[in-house]
């Protein structure tokens, strides 16, 4: 499904929320045409009709501006990107930038993920850890439990529970969370997907968050996960933080520059 079809689906839901049955029917008709390959009207052309009625979506259905900006990096069409940026929360209550982490190893990635998760839970947030594969879901859930953090990772989630939810991207459709954490952004975890499909998945995953997002990958010796490259070369003025461990000297190299003292030499205490 193309991103334009997803936006049409979102528009149909928005029209239902505000009671605009005419726009709802128009959106459905256009969606049918697009699925047959004959859709012609620009999706962006449907949005002004919603705005002309001076209607806005409830705040609960919107991402904050920082999340919308991050998600928009995975939207190719200018009109669709504008539509994404248009429907955001009117205010950014907490100016906390999303984070993009490049870890030196899978172990460090899980340690940093656990730290981020603890921080969100300390704020009593609803948190989701979204992953590309069920195999990664099992690995992440095991790593979090080993770190002493209880998480829920099952076919049927109990959203009445406050436990963080570990789930594949496709299981997160239609839900909203305070924060989403996206580990495992490595090329090998997306081998069966086209570049367009990958960007679509990332867009959907990021926009599950209303307030904060955390994306992480492992540098290793392999090529960087292509969709993250544009985030790592962050253009001036964009609001996300990059933590790239490739640019931080390893601890062992720093320690090696200090001459060791004999075990019985106590002069260092004077």
Query: What is the rounded (10 degree) CA torsion for 220, 247, 237, 231?
Result: -10
| Percent of the chain topping pLDDT 90 | 33
User: Where in the chain are all domains bearing CATH 3.40.50.300?
Assistant: 99-248
Q: Please give the model's pTM, rounded to 2 decimal places.
A: 0.70
CATH of 99-248, one of 3.40.605.10, 3.40.720.10, 1.20.120.420, 3.40.50.300: 3.40.50.300
State the pLDDT confidence band at 17, using cuts at 50, 70 and 90.
low
Q: Which residue has the tokens 């919107």?
A: 62
Half-sphere exposure of residue 230, counting CA atoms within 13 Å on the CB side?
11
94-139 per-position pLDDT tens digit: 678 999 999 999 999 999 999 999 999 999 999 999 999 999 999 9
Residue 204, both tokens: 């959907």
At 263 the pLDDT is 47
**What's the chain's average pLDDT?**
76
More confident call, 139 vs 63: 139
pLDDT at 184: 95
For residue 227 the two structure tokens come to 């969709």
pLDDT mean over 142-158:
90
């Amino acid at each position: 499904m193309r991103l334009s079809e997803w936006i049409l689906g979102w528009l149909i839901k928005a029209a239902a929320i505000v009671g605009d049955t005419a726009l709802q029917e128009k959106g459905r008709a256009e969606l049918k045409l697009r699925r047959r390959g004959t859709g012609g009207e620009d999706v962006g052309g449907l949005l002004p009709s919603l705005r002309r009625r001076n209607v806005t979506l409830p705040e609960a259905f919107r991402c904050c501006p920082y999340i919308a900006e991050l998600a928009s990096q995975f939207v190719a069409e200018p009109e669709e990107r504008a539509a994404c940026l248009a429907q955001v929360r009117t205010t950014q209550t907490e100016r906390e930038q999303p984070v993009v982490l490049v870890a030196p190893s899978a172990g460090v990635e899980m340690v940093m993920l656990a730290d981020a998760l603890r921080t969100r839970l300390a704020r009593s947030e609803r948190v989701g850890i979204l992953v590309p594969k069920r195999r990664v879901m099992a690995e992440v859930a095991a790593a979090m439990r080993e770190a002493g953090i209880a998480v829920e990772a099952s076919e049927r989630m109990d959203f009445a529970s406050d436990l963080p939810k570990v789930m594949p991207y496709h299981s997160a459709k239609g839900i909203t969370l305070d924060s989403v954490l996206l580990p495992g952004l490595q090329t090998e975890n997306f081998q069966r997907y086209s570049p367009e499909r990958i960007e679509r998945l990332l867009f959907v995953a990021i926009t599950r968050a209303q307030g904060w997002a955390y994306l992480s990958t492992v540098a290793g010796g392999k090529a960087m996960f292509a969709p993250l490259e544009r985030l790592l070369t962050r253009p001036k003025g964009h609001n996300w933080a990059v933590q790239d461990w490739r640019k931080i000297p390893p601890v062992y190299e720093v320690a090696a520059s200090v001459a060791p003292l004999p075990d019985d030499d106590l002069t260092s205490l004077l």
